[in-house]
Amino acid sequence: MWRRMALVIGCAVLAGLAAASWIRVHEVAGERYIMTSERLAGSAQSFARELHGRLESADALVRYLSATDAGVNGSLLQDRMLTAEAFHGVVVLPYPELPADAGNPADPTTRLTGLSADDRLRLQGGQSLIRALTPATGGTVLYLLHQVNSSSTPRLGLFEIDPGWLWQGAADLPRQQSMIVIDTADHLLFEGSALPPEIARMVARTPAERPTLSGQPLLRDWQQNGVAWRGAVVGLDTRIGRLSGPVWSIAVYGQLASLPVAVRSITDDLLPLLLLAAAAVALATWYLCGCWQRPLLRLEAALQALRQGQFRRVNLSGSTDTPRAIAQSFNLAIIGLESRYGAQELLSEIDRLLLEASDLEQSIEPILLRVCTVTEAQVAAMALLDRDAPAHARSFMAGCDGAICPVTRINLEPETTLALQDAPQGLLVPAHQLDRYGFLQALRERGAEICHVWPILAGSEVAGMLSVGYRGSMEPSAQLLRYGAQCAARLQIALSNRDTDARLYHQAHFDSLTSLPNRVLFRDRLSQELAGVGSGSPGGALLYVDLDHFKRVNDTVGHGAGDQLLTIIAQRLRSCVKDGDTVARLGGDEFTVILRQVPSAEAASEIAQRIIDALQRPVNIGGRDHQVRASIGITRFPDDGSNIDELLRNADLAMYQAKDSGRSCAVFFDRKMARASVQLAESGLFRAVRRREFALYYQPQFALQNGELVAMEALVRWQHPREGLRFPKDFVPAAEQSGLMVEIGTWVLESACRQLMLWREEGIAPGRLALNVSLQQLRASDFVQLLDQTLERAGLPPQILELEVTEAVFADEDARVALRKVAALGVRVALDDFGTGYSSLNHLRQQPVDAIKIDRCFMSEVPDNYQATTLLATIIDMAHALGKQVIAEGVETLPQLDLLRQRGCDIAQGFVLARPLQVADATERLAQRSASTALLRRAG
C-alpha cells in the first residue's frame, strides 16, 4: 500500500512542481521579453536623441564655417575645416546649371547636387540639406549641403560628415544589441550587423507609419534562421532647425531569449525544490500509511465479514481522529444494518409462523415473542375480540424474557374499540393514561410504563389489537414503531383469512345446535369473570340448569323434536339474562349461566326463578305441547369458590340437591353439600352419571309353590371404566347422600321398563319386574308423573311393576304421599329388607304395601337356629295375615328353600336359584322358561 501511496503522492507533487515550473518558465520568458523590449526601446531612443543632437551640431558648425568667405574654390573654408572633427572635408562647387534631372545620373556629384527648385530655394534661404551618396565602392557617404560665399559668389558647399563622428554612439550599445539606420530613400546609413534586405526594408518603413522621437518606439518581431528577433524602431526627422532632410529609421534590435534559456534560468532553483518534494512525499507517505493502513485493513476485514452475513464492529480506538470517525460511522452503519437485517429476519419468521400455522391462535405466542424482540419491547400482547361479543376478548401475552403468560380473558370498553378504529396507525399510551385502558393492566403488571397499541382490523371493524409495553417514560423510536406496525399488519392479514379460522373457532367454542357457547368458551368466560371479581366489583353467580325428563321428549317424539326443543330452551334461557351474561350448553340437557355482577343472593334467585318460569311454559313441537322443567343449582363467586372446577362442582351439587328437593326449583350451594360430595367426587360418580356408566342385572324370583319364575328384580351395576363392575353397596349410599340417586333411579326406571317392553314384545316377559326405589326418588316432586309416563311410553300395565322401598320411606311424609300415588296408579309396592329397620307392623297395615321381602340376614341362620326359624315363620304368617305376599331374598341353600316352602313363603330369590344375570343371560333364561312352560302346557 505504501508503494502505491508514495507513487500517487509523488506523482501529485511532481505534477504540481511541473505546473509551477512551467508557469515560472513562461513568467521568466515573459519577463525577459519585456525587459529586452524596454532595453531595445531605450537604446533606440537615446541613440536617436544623440543623433539628433549631432546633426544639430553639424549644421551649426557648417553655418559657422560658411559665415565667412570660403575663398577661391573654397580654399579658405577647407583651411578652417581642418579643425572640425565632424567633417572629413568640404567641396565647394558652383550651383549646377542644369536642372537636376538634366545631369548625368551616373555622376555621383550630379546625383548629390541634383537639386530641385525647392532645394535651391532652401539653400539660397540659408538652410542646409542632408544628402546621402552611395559611391560605386559601396557604403553610404553623408553630406551636408550649405550655400557658401566664394569671393562674394554664392557657391554650394558639400560638407562630408565624418561617419566615425556621427555613429560614434553605436559603439556604446549593449553587447547583445545591434543597430541599423536607413533613410526613407532606402539608403543604408549605418549597419551594426547585416540584416536580410526584407527585414531592413520593414525596419525602414516603420517610422513612415509613425515618425516620432518623443513617443514610444515601435516594436517589431521577426524570425531569422529560426531565431526570434525583436527590434525597437524610432523615426528621426532630420528637419532640425534650418536643416532639411529625409526621415531616418533607427532600429536597435537583438535576439529574444528562447524557452530553453528561460528553463535554464530556473533550473538552479528546481533541484532543491525537487529534493524537498521527495522528502515531503516520503514523509507524507509514512504518515498517511501509519494513519490509514491499519484502519483500512480492519475495515476491509469487517466488510468481508459483512459479505458473509456477519455484522462485525471495527475498533480503532488508537487511531487518529479521521479513521476513528470513519470507524464510528462504519460501526453505526453496521449497527443499523444489523438491526434492520435482524428485524427483517424476525418479520420473515413471523410470516413463516403465520403461514405454517393452521390455527392462528397456536402461533400467537411465538409471534409475540418475536414482536417483543423486533420492537425491543418489555412485553407484547395480542387481544382477539370474541366475534359474538366484542366487549370480550382473549388476551395472549409474552415477555421479552421469553416468558409466555397464560391466555386470559379481558373486557374491553366500547370507547377503546372506537378509539382504535379511528387510529389505524396506532395509539401511544403514556404512563399517566394507562389507567384508562383496562386491557393494558396486564402489561403494566409486567413492568410496562408506556405502551403502544395498534388495531388489527377486519374490514373496518376492530378484530383485535397488538400492544407493546416499554419500561421507562422514553417513547420508542419511530423505527421500532414501524416494525410494530408491520407486525400488526401481518397479523391483520392473518386475521383477514380468519373466516375459515372463525368457522373453526365457532366449531370449537360454540354448540352447533343452539349456537350457545360450549364448554370450552364457558370455561374461558368463567375464568375471565373470576379474574375480574377480585378488585372490589360485586361477585357473580353460576347457575347449573338441568332439564328434568328431557330424555322423555327424545324418546317419545324423536331426536329431531328434542333438538328443536333444546333450541327453544336455549333462546328462552338467553332471554332471561342480560347482555354480558353467558348462557352455555355443556352438553345434552345441561346448561350453565354465568351471571355477572350479581349484587345479592336474592338477585340470583330471582333470575333462577325467571328461568324456571320461562322454561315451564309449554313448548309446542309437532302439534304437541311439551312441558320442560328445570332444576337449578346456584353457586356464587368468589364467596363459594374461585376456580372453575370447584364452582362447577358446587353448582352441580346444588342442582342435584334441587332435583332431590322435588325438581323445578333452584337451590343455593352450601358447604355441607361440598363435604358430602367430596367422597363422591373422588369416586367419579358424577362422571358416571353423565356418561351413563351403568348397567342393569336381573335376578329371577321363583314361586315356591310350583318353582316357576314369576318375577325379575332389576339390580343396578356401575361399569367403572378402570375398576370394572361395582356393586350398589359401593356407590348407592354416596349417590343417595348427594342426590345423584334421583338421576340414577330415573335411568334405572326407564331402562328396566324399556327392557320389559322388549321382553314383552318377544313374549318372554316375566310376570313382574321389581325395581328398587330410594327415598330421594320418591320425594322428588315429579316421581309419580315420571313413573306414569314411563309406563305409558313402554306400554306396560302398572301392576307388572313392583317398586321395592325400604322402611325409611314411611318416616317421610312426602314419600308416603308419593307411595300412595304409586299404589293408586296400580303399581305394586314391596317392602324391601324387611326386618332390618324400624319394622312397624302398623305401617304394614296402613301403607299400600303389597309384599314384604324378608331380608337376607334372616336366612343365614335358618334352618339350624330354631329361634331364627321361628321368627321367619312368624313373619311369614303375620304378613299373610295382613294380606301381604312374602318374598324371601338371599336364599342360598336348599334347606333354606325347603323350609321356606314348608312355612308357606310365596316367592324365593337367591343364589341357590339364580344369581343376578346380565340382560342377555336373563333373556335366555326367560326364553327357556317360556319354552318349557309351553312344553308342559302341551303335555298337560
CB of 514 to ligand C2E, least distance (A): 33
Distances from the Cα of 671 to the Cαs of 508, 677, 788, 882, in angstroms?
34, 10, 36, 46
Distance CA 386, CA 389 (A): 5
User: Are 379 and 400 a contacting pair, CB within 8 Å?
Assistant: yes
Number of residues that bind Mg ion (CB under 5 A): 4
- Coil, strand or helix at 623: coil
With beta carbons less than 8 A apart as the criterion, state whether 234 and 212 touch.
yes
Alpha carbon distance 144, 60 (integer Å): 11
Instruction: State yes or no: residue 732 binds ligand C2E (CB under 6 A).
Output: yes
**Residue 918 makes contact with ligand C2E by CB under 6 A:** no
Residue 740 touching ligand C2E (CB under 6 A): no
Q: Are 396 and 365 in contact (CB under 8 A)?
A: yes
Measured at the CA of 237, the angle between CA 140 and CA 39, to 5 degrees, comes to 85
CB atoms within 10 A of CB 117: 9
Question: Which residue in 90, 577, 891, 926 binds ligand C2E (CB under 6 A)?
Answer: 891
Residue 646 CB, shortest distance to ligand C2E, in Å, is: 29
Identify any residues that bridge with 551 across adjacent strands, giving them in sequence order.
none
The answer to whether 773 contacts ligand C2E (rule: CB under 6 A) is: yes
Q: What are phi and psi of 142, to 5 degrees?
A: -105, 135
Closest CA to 311 of 343, 355, 359, 280: 343
Q: Which stretch binds ligand C2E (CB under 6 A): 27-35, 305-313, 612-620, 909-917?
A: 909-917
Asked if 832 interacts with Mg ion (CB under 5 A), we say: yes
635 touches, from Mg ion, ligand C2E, none (C-beta below 5 to 8 Å by class): none
| Comparison of 467 and 847: residue with beta carbon closer to Mg ion | 847
Does position 916 interact with ligand C2E (CB under 6 A)? The reply is: yes
Q: How far is the CB of 414 from ligand C2E (least distance, A)?
A: 55
Q: Which does 766 bind (CB under 5 to 8 A by kind): Mg ion, ligand C2E, none?
A: none
The answer to whether the bond into 96 is cis (omega within 30° of 0) is no
Q: Which of 774, 790, 847, 869 lies at the binding interface for ligand C2E (CB under 6 A)? A: 774
Residue 706, CA atoms < 13 Å, CB-side half-sphere = 6
Least distance to Mg ion, CB of residue 889, Å: 5
Residues 667 to 726: which contact ligand C2E by CB under 6 A?
699, 714-716
* By CB under 6 A, residue 457 contacts ligand C2E: no
Residue 563's binding partner, choosing from ligand C2E, Mg ion, none, with beta-carbon cut-off 5 to 8 A by kind? none
| Cβ(488)–Cβ(466) below 8 Å | yes
Q: Which residues contact 319 (CB under 8 A, 6 or more apart)?
A: 291, 294, 295, 327
Q: Does the protein bind ligand C2E through residue 157 (CB under 6 A)? A: no
Number of residues in the chain? 940
Strands, DSSP E only, in 95-140?
128-133
Of 487, 833, 844, 899, the residue at the interface with Mg ion (CB under 5 A) is: 833
Q: Which of 45, 592, 772, 806 binds Mg ion (CB under 5 A)?
A: 772
User: What is the rounded distance in angstroms from the CA atom of residue 736 to the CA atom of residue 716?
Assistant: 14
Residue type at position 856: R
Q: Return the closest-CA partner of residue 21 out of 318, 366, 262.
A: 262
From the list 32-40, 190-198, 340-348, 766-774, the region that binds ligand C2E by CB under 6 A is: 766-774
528 contacts Mg ion (rule: CB under 5 A): no
Beta strands in 504-587 (DSSP E): 540-548, 582-587
Residue 268: phi and psi, rounded to 5, are -60, -40
Residue closest to 802 by CA, chosen among 752, 754, 841, 742: 752
Give the residue carrying C-alpha cell 503522492: 9
We find the least distance from the C-beta atom of residue 819 to Mg ion, in angstroms, to be 16
Select from 377-385, 509-517, 632-640, 887-895 the region that touches ligand C2E (CB under 6 A): 887-895
C-alpha to C-alpha distance for 504 and 498, rounded to whole angstroms? 9
- As a whole number of angstroms, the distance between CA 176 and CA 769 comes to 164
Out of 728, 767, 848, 863, which residue is the one contacting ligand C2E (CB under 6 A)? 728
Of residues 376, 389, 367, 398, the one with CA closest to residue 494: 367
- Asked if 895 touches ligand C2E (CB under 6 A), the answer is no
Query: Are the C-beta atoms of residues 169 and 47 closer than 8 Å to each other?
Result: yes
Q: Would you count residue 872 as binding ligand C2E (CB under 6 A)?
A: no
Nearer to ligand C2E, 64 or 911 (CB): 911
Q: Provide the minimum distance between the beta carbon of 815 and ligand C2E in the complex, in angstroms, as a whole number.
A: 13
Indicate which single residue of 372, 450, 711, 748 sits in contact with ligand C2E (rule: CB under 6 A). Answer: 748
856 in contact with ligand C2E (CB under 6 A):
yes
804 binds Mg ion (CB under 5 A): yes
- Kindly state the number of chain residues that form the binding site for ligand C2E, as judged by CB under 6 A: 25
Rg of the Cα trace of the chain? 73
Q: Which is nearer to Mg ion, 589 or 833 (CB)?
A: 833
* Cβ 712 to ligand C2E shortest distance, Å: 12
Half-sphere exposure of 704 (CA within 13 A, CB side): 24
Residue 659 C-beta: closest distance to ligand C2E, Å? 15
As measured in angstroms, the least distance from the Cβ of 766 to ligand C2E is: 16
Residue window 810-849: x/- pattern of binding to ligand C2E, with contact defined by CB under 6 A:
----------------------xx----------------
In 3D space, the residue among 699, 643, 665, 412 whose CA is nearest the CA of residue 531 turns out to be: 643
Q: Which is nearer to ligand C2E, 674 or 769 (CB)?
A: 769
Subset of residues 473 to 512 that bind ligand C2E, contact rule: CB under 6 A: none
Closer to ligand C2E by Cβ: residue 144 or 716: 716
Q: Binding of ligand C2E at residue 886 (CB under 6 A)?
A: no
**748 contact choice in Mg ion, ligand C2E, none (CB below 5 to 8 Å, kind-dependent):** ligand C2E
3-class SS letters over 465-479: EEEEEECCCCCCCHH
Residues forming the site for ligand C2E (CB under 6 A): 699, 714-716, 727-729, 732, 745, 748, 772-774, 804, 832-833, 856, 889-892, 909-911, 916
* Site for Mg ion, rule CB under 5 A: 772, 804, 832-833
